[in-house]
Structure 1
Amino acid sequence: MAAIFLLASLLLLIRFLLVVFKMVVDKTKKYWRSI
């Protein structure tokens, strides 16, 4: 049971990191275009 909870937490963390990564990449692209 604890293993399932741990796996779910890990998946949520990975999804969150992916969203943050996408946001950073988008901001970086806009920044490079403005130069």
Structure 2
Amino acid sequence: MQRANKQFKRDSARVAFLVCVGFGAEVLCGNIGIACFTP
């Protein structure tokens, strides 16, 4: 049970990290895209 809990914590941390990275990249790309495509 302890091992499964540790595994779950690691996986949820990884998922949260990926969500944060994905969201940050999306915002960054959106801002760059707006900056590039607006005259």
TM-score range with shorter-chain normalisation?
A: 0.7 to 0.9
Gapped regions of structure 2 (runs ≥ 5): 1-7
Decide which structure has the larger Cα Rg and report it: 2
Match of 2:3 in 1: none
Match of 1:28 in 2: 35
- Residue 28 of structure 1: how far off its partner (Å): 1.1
Distance in 2 (CA, whole Å) between partners of 1:17 and 1:23 is 10
Match of 2:5 in 1: none
Render the CA deviation track for 1:8-27: whole Å, top value 9, x for unaligned.
Answer: 00000000011001111011
Distance in 1 (CA, whole Å) between partners of 2:16 and 2:34 is 27
TM-score by length of 2: 0.68
TM-score by length of 1: 0.73
Identity of aligned residues (%): 9
